[in-house]
Amino acid sequence: MPSVVLTDADQFPLYEVSMRRLADAGARLIEVPGHDRDEIVAVVNREQADAILVYHARIDAPLLDRIQSLRVIGRCGTGYDKIDVGAARARGAEVVYVPGYGSDTVADHTVALILACCRSVASGSAALRAGCWPGYPQLGPLHKLRGRVLGLVGFGRIARAVAERAAGFGMVLTAHDPAVNDATIAATGVRPVDFGALLRGSHVISIHVPLSAATKGLFDQAAFAAMQPGTVLVNTSRGEVVDEDALLRTLASGSLAAVGLDVFAEEPLPGGHPLRTDPRVVATPHSAAYSEEALEEVGDRAVADVLRLLAGQQAHNLVPST
């Protein structure tokens, strides 16, 4: 009977469809609340677990050196930057992930952040809670979305879903993605541009790239300096794509109208961090991918691929070799 460990089970319990799938395969599920490294090692070794399902846990070489039994690591998500894939494979453990899950959910959240930033929703609500009744001088300047230029950095599934939604508001759409040819971008009604032109020409910039050596710190001081005054920046991809020190300096200069952030370089965001308190920042706790539908999908697709590998079959979504 194969055994599968689930981390962060207190936050992300598996849905009924996944539980049935495990039962049908004769697999035993061991739940770990949270993702404490020592507890993960202790549980995996005690149970001689064949596989682990990972949400927030960091599975790196030092942790893998303390574990003997794992054959499969299932990342319940699209990004796998917290898993040392090379170290896992060198130790005989295959790694699977769930690309493209919850695209609609993240796109919905992205547009919610764009609206909140452009319409001063958070600051207006905070003022009311504090007993104030702010007028336009306190809330503005505000702009309608129709005719405003939205620049999409990255043009994968989520960015395309954002583009579909933003088109409904009458926004002018541009995108930059070195991995997608211009003809493909243009065929969706979005104008392809280079990165510099996107920075200079956008009223709203939305980030949709994976974290890699090429994208880490992509939004640095030079990138912020290239933006026009009053730009709105939204990031629902990975926190480290944005240089937060450069972002804070730019906020202090007053050149950004607002920032919508769902991801941060350090998570949870430390208490007292200036991104928690700046009134121009609309911050959410890395929750863009949360919906009942998305969470059911991500868990079940990861479970299905883990079980395929444990049964000696081909997985649908192996993490690509680099």
Q: Which residues are catalytic?
A: 238, 267, 286
Name the 3-class secondary structure at 12. Answer: coil
Q: How many other C-beta atoms are found inside a 10 Å radius of the C-beta of residue 149?
A: 18
Q: Which two tokens stand for residue 118?
A: 């452009």
Q: How many other C-beta atoms are found inside a 10 Å radius of the C-beta of residue 53?
A: 28
DSSP 143-193: --STTPEEEEES-SHHHHHHHHHHHHTT-EEEEE-TTS-HHHHHTTT-EE-
Q: Which two tokens stand for residue 69?
A: 């039994």
3-state SS, 234-285, equals EECCCHHHECHHHHHHHHHHCCEEEEEECCCCCCCCCCCCHHHHCCCEEECC
Integer angstrom CA distances of residue 79 from 92, 95, 102 = 21, 12, 13
Question: Cα 277 from chain centroid?
Answer: 22
Name the 3-class secondary structure at 89. Answer: helix
Integer angstrom CA distances of residue 121 from 110, 114, 125, 126 = 14, 10, 6, 9
The sign of the dihedral angle between the CA atoms of 19, 22, 24, 27 is negative
Integer angstrom CA distances of residue 290 from 102, 128, 193 = 8, 28, 31
